[in-house]
């Protein structure tokens, strides 16, 4: 059974994950109308992934005797000066989500809710990967600079970008 404090904190995270999905959907739309089909596809995938993260939380709250709340969402910013600006915003947003997850983990320890603490470890690992991915993409964008040919190749190749983090592999 979830405490009211944990339930409220998880419902707040549900909203954050839903807003993340909306932010990436807005980014996908922006990229698509700019002709950046690879970036758009990447962002559509990211949007769906964030929605999946939200649903995982919803199901957890409901399974643990709480009541997941679906609340109104803030409309995302849909204008960017450049695709670099958009990915910088993505990185900042992932850092914000990581901070939110870390605060949630802290609350579970204060409340001695070890089942929720264990459940959230997946999100902790996921955020390490998300931040590393955003950092890798920004590094590539900085390498490209203003080179249009580089942007073309980046747009074509972004779907294949993968990052293996230290937390992803456990020693065998």
Residues that constitute the known binding site for Fe cation: 17, 50, 53, 94, 127
Q: Could you tell me which residues are annotated as the binding site?
A: 17, 50, 53, 94, 127
151 CB contacts (<8 Å, ≥6 apart)? 83, 144
Taking Cα atoms as reference points, which of 109, 171, 123, 111 lies closest to residue 14?
Answer: 123
**Rounded distance, CA 162 to CA 34, Å?**
24
**Rounded distance, CA 106 to CA 4, Å?**
15
Q: What is the DSSP letter of 93?
A: H
């Amino acid at each position: 059974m979830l405490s009211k404090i944990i339930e409220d904190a998880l419902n707040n995270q549900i909203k954050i994950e839903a807003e993340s999905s909306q932010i990436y959907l807005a980014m996908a739309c922006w990229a698509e109308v700019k002709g950046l089909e690879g970036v758009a596809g990447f962002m559509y995938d990211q949007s769906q992934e964030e929605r999946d993260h939200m649903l995982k939380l919803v199901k957890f709250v409901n399974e643990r005797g709480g009541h997941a709340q679906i609340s109104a969402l803030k409309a995302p910013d849909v204008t960017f000066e450049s695709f670099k600006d958009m990915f910088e915003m993505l990185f900042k947003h992932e850092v914000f989500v990581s901070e939110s997850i870390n605060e949630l983990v802290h609350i579970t320890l204060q409340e001695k809710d070890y089942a929720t603490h264990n459940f959230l470890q997946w999100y902790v690992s996921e955020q390490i990967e998300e931040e590393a991915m955003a950092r890798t993409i920004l590094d590539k964008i900085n390498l490209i600079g203003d080179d249009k040919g580089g942007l073309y190749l980046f747009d074509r190749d972004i779907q294949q970008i993968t990052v293996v983090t230290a937390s992803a592999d456990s020693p065998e």
